[in-house]
Amino acid sequence: MKPSFFLNDDRPPFGGNEAEYRALFARHFHLEKLETAPDSIAPRAGRELFLMARKADLSAVEC
């Protein structure tokens, strides 16, 4: 899945989207918040996400 937008091609931040981040982190983290960042700088306002996650109990995960 491609990001919904790119911020930079050669350095972070590269960009991404909510679905991509949920798929990437869901197995190992409990996502407590994943929402539009409330304090982005003007050029990125409305395009950045804020993520707060808690490490999952990996002992319960089958590999």
Does residue 14 form part of some domain? yes
Does residue 61 form part of some domain? no
Does residue 62 form part of some domain? no
Does residue 45 form part of some domain? yes
Does residue 30 form part of some domain? yes
Share of the chain above pLDDT 70, in %: 79
Task: Check: CB of residue 30 under 8 Å from CB of residue 53.
Answer: yes
Does residue 63 form part of some domain? no
Domain carrying residue 2: 1-56
**Into how many domains does the chain fold?**
1
Cis check: omega of the bond before 43, within 30 degrees of 0: no
Which tens digit of pLDDT belongs to each residue from 9-27? 788 777 778 998 999 998 8
d(CA 12, CA 44): 13
Does residue 39 form part of some domain? yes
Amino acid identity of residue 36, one-letter, is T
Q: What is the pTM of this model?
A: 0.65
